[in-house]
Amino acid sequence: MSTYQTEEEQVEAIKKWWKENGKSVVGGIALGLAVVGGGKGWLEYQRIQAENASANFENFSQAALVGNLETAVQRGEALIREYKGSTYALFTALELARLQYQAGDKDKAKARLQWVLDNSSRDAISQLAKIRMARLLLDMKNFDAAAELAANPADDAYLGEFLSIQGDVKLARGDREAARTAFAQALEKGVSNPTLISMKLTELGG
């Protein structure tokens, strides 16, 4: 089982986050303008911060893309320190978790995901981190913790993903009937990798 089955999860998280929060972001900018009376200094600071964070994230992404783990970690950790409260920092931590998992360091990957869970105020990103954490815990054979994370999804948009994890936990514990039910429900609700879930169902006779 791959803990990070497809990068579609991250793309979908961005889309869902903007769909859920785009209006509030725009509203917050408008409120800020009203509060400061259109102050140019505040606006210039915000613009520079956003541009710097974006540039740093691009540099980090380039290192990650070419597989330069050492450079990616250095740039990623610097970005997280400098722009801790930004969405860029959250997605950087998610990507670092993926890279370090692929490098075989599951403990560091777990720590990155926990940082996202501890620092994210964005529900869509928190749910994505919870999904990845649950899969990682399952991969580490910590079935109880994985089951606990997957038990009560807060967002229906991710219900299928959580159901698929519940199915994996039940299958790992030898409950094939319950696993088959969970996988079928996951497909019904929608998952990022329906082919994989369908294969698991077929193997279980579903």
Q: How far is CA 16 from the centre of its chain?
A: 12
pLDDT given at position 22: 44
Question: Predicted confidence band at 202 (pLDDT cuts at 50, 70, 90)?
Answer: very high
Kindly tell me if the per-residue pLDDT of 52 is higher than 90: no
What confidence tens digit (pLDDT) does each residue in 73-100 have?
999 999 999 988 888 889 899 999 999 9
Task: State both tokens at 104.
Answer: 């075989």
pLDDT given at position 31: 44
Q: Which residue ranges make up each domain of the chain?
A: 1-140, 141-206
Query: CB–CB of 56/79 below 8 Å?
Result: yes
Q: Of the candidates 161, 206, 149, which has an alpha carbon nearest to the alpha carbon of residue 186?
A: 161
Kindly tell me if the per-residue pLDDT of 116 is higher than 50: yes
Q: Which CATH class is domain 1-140?
A: mainly alpha
Question: Predicted confidence band at 177 (pLDDT cuts at 50, 70, 90)?
Answer: very high
Q: Give the residue ranges of DSSP H helices in the chain.
A: 8-36, 40-65, 69-82, 87-102, 106-119, 123-139, 143-151, 159-172, 176-189, 194-203
pLDDT given at position 204: 92
What confidence tens digit (pLDDT) does each residue in 123-168 have?
888 888 999 999 999 999 999 999 999 997 766 788 999 999 999 9
What confidence tens digit (pLDDT) does each residue in 4-38 have?
445 455 555 554 554 555 444 444 444 454 445 55
pLDDT given at position 152: 78
Please give the residue that has the higher pLDDT: either 71 or 123: 71
